[in-house]
Structure 1
Amino acid sequence: MLTRLAQVVTAIAIICSLSVPLASAQPDFGSEYTQTQFGPMGPAGRDMLVKVRLAGLWEGPAGRLGLQKSANPLVKEAGRHLIDGHAELDAKVLELGRTLNVPLPSEANVDQQGWIAEMTNAPAGSVEFDRIFANRLRAAHGGVYKFLAVVRTGTRNTLIRDFAKRCMEVVLDHIQVLEATGMVDFNDTEAIPLAAIAAPLASSAPVPTVPQAVPNVPRTQNLAQDNDSGGTDALLGVLVMAAVVGGIYLWTGGRPRGSRSKRQ
């Protein structure tokens, strides 16, 4: 009897071990995605790290200019928020770049350098400086905030998701302190196009306004994946039932109840 019980347990264990790889198979997102221990890493996640790094390379210095050149205490306060916020994000994005093997820029792009030049050339203590400071930075943060929301919603990588969330919190704080200066022209908050803010490192290719944050998987492929998952579950159920029936058969010695009673 113990021998038959061991045979049943062994049969069930073998069936389950064969079925598990089918049930846990990872979907293929395409050649642009790499699998990491934190989830699939795709173009949108890599693009976000580059954009956050680029933002820190000009918005941190812009914050320092606000402290040095403005006579407006509200502009100075916004400058302090920019310095602190981008110091935090810059340290984190460099860490994530190393962890996820994403190369990051080391200097601001041409457009960003031009915006810094505008602030540098504006007279210190002037309303002109304060307006350039508030409007350039408010427009930039508005565009980045929308991009971060797209990435946060679509990514399956937990590191990117958590970092996008924190970036959104910092960027929203910066938007609020910039608006609090009273210098923001709300008719001109789209003055800086997202493509310019997000210009990729050492690339002349056009940058899409809103990069795809999730894998572009056709609906038919999604259905196929659902069907595969359902089919695997059904197969596992059938195999387990077969094992149970086989166990009962072995337990009773492969004989009907009637034949056993006749022998008795």
Structure 2
Amino acid sequence: MSRITLGSVFVGGALAVTAAALAYPSLLGVQKTSSDGARVIAHTRFGPLTEADRNFVVAVRAAGLWEFPSGELAVKKGTTEAVREAGRHLIIGHAALDASCRKIAPELNITIPNQPSPQQQGFLVTLQSDTGKQFDSDLANILRVTHGSIFSTIAKIRSTTRNTLVRQLADQANDVVLDHITQMEGSGLVNFDQVNAQQTNPQKLPSDQVTPPVPQSGVPMVVLTPPPGVSADGIPTGPAAPAAPAAPSGSATVG
């Protein structure tokens, strides 16, 4: 497989609203779009839910679906202790974020993916095929680009959302993503010139390459569970989203 060209990720787009759930049929990925992320798409007991809010929940879930297994690869294949430790942080951090996404998605009537986007799957394939020092370098640089790209999005969501559950997820994501950025940089392998260029000038890709597939009906939800032997000691995971209060009536009104 040819080397993946990196782009920044997690910027939402114009997404359709269905009666059953707030799904995400297009444009969740590298390219910035002209969509009005501030448009309210649902009124919930946790506050208004905007397009940007919904895109953020989907993006956090999709990130974990490829970065968690990337962490497992790092623990097994990393040639240095720093890379293996970074892998441990990826596993624990994304397991915690995933638990929060799975907890709040039904409360907000958001459909979340069961697979990462094709672009994200490509990143994972690259890491699966890498060996030795090439694996170490690709892990550090790919993950530094993706985490650096969502970092500013987290800040924007945290400062603008009026939805309490989305705000709590942003708080948690801020802690976890900053930790992962620090881990990638601590490997000593990040090419900052290349990473900054890729974050500043993201590659334009078709929407079908940057959108996670909508999950098939009846298929069990993927749960990210750390494997035995991977300790969470000393790894920041942020404040987990608390259990939501019981709804007095319907959980969300689609607007």
Q: Is this a same-fold pair by TM over 0.5?
A: yes
Query: Are 1:109 and 2:117 an aligned pair?
Result: yes
Q: Quick one: distance in 2 between partners of 1:31 and 1:187?
A: 36
**TM-align CA RMSD:** 2.3
Distance in 1 (alpha carbons) for counterparts of 2:67 and 2:125: 12
Question: Once the 2 structures are TM-superposed, how far is the Cα of residue 44 of structure 1 from its aligned partner?
Answer: 0.8
Instruction: Give the partner amino acid of 2:211.
Output: P
Q: 2:94 aligns with which of 80, 86, 91?
A: 86
- Between Structure 1 and Structure 2, whose CA radius of gyration is higher? 1
Counting only pairs closer than 5 Å after superposition, residues 201-220 of structure 1 correspond to structure 2 as 201-202=212-213
Residue of structure 2 equivalent to 1:56 = 64
Letter matched to residue 65 of structure 1? L
Q: Do 1:134 and 1:183's aligned partners in 2 also have CA atoms closer than 8 Å?
A: yes
Cα shift at 1:57: 0.3
Residue 118 of structure 1 is matched in structure 2 by 126
Is the 2:118–2:210 Cα contact (8 Å) retained in structure 1? no
User: For residue 22 of structure 1, what is the aligned residue in structure 2?
Assistant: none
Asked if structure 1 preserves the Cα contact closer than 8 Å seen for 2:60 and 2:101, the reply is: yes
Q: Which residue of the other structure, out of 135, 138, 162, is the alignment partner of 1:129?
A: 135
Confirm whether residue 152 of structure 1 aligns to residue 163 of structure 2: no
Q: Give the length in aligned residue pairs.
A: 173
Shift of 1:172: 0.2
- Given that 1:144 and 1:194 are in contact with CA atoms closer than 8 Å, whether structure 2 keeps it comes out as no
Secondary structure at the aligned position of 1:149 is classed as: helix
CA contact (8 A) 1:143 1:194 kept: no
- Distance in structure 1 (CA, Å) of the matches to 2:123 and 2:212: 18
C-alpha distance after superposition, 1:95-145 (max 9, x if no partner): 11111000011001111111111111112xx21110001000000000011
What runs of 5+ residues in structure 2 fail to find an aligned partner? 1-37, 215-255
Q: Which of the two has greater helix per residue?
A: 1
Quick one: percent identity of the two aligned structures? 38
Other-structure match for 2:236 = none
The answer to whether the Cα contact below 8 Å between 1:140 and 1:194 also exists between their aligned partners in 2 is no
Q: CA deviation at 1:164?
A: 0.5
- What is the alpha-carbon distance in structure 2 between the residues aligned to residue 131 and residue 151 of structure 1? 31
- The answer to whether the aligner puts 1:185 opposite 2:194 as a matched pair is no
Deviations 1:34-86 (A, max 9, x none): 21111111101100011001100000000001011112000000000000000
- Alpha-carbon shift at residue 32 of structure 1 (Å): 3.9
SS of the residue aligned with 2:194?
coil
Whole-Å separation in 1 of the counterparts to 2:47 and 2:39: 15
Map of 2:85 onto structure 1: 77
Q: Which runs of 5+ in 1 are unaligned?
A: 1-29, 204-264
Q: In 2, are the aligned partners of 1:59 and 1:86 still within 8 Å (CA)? A: yes
Checking the alignment, whether the CA contact within 8 Å between 1:39 and 1:158 is kept in structure 2 is yes
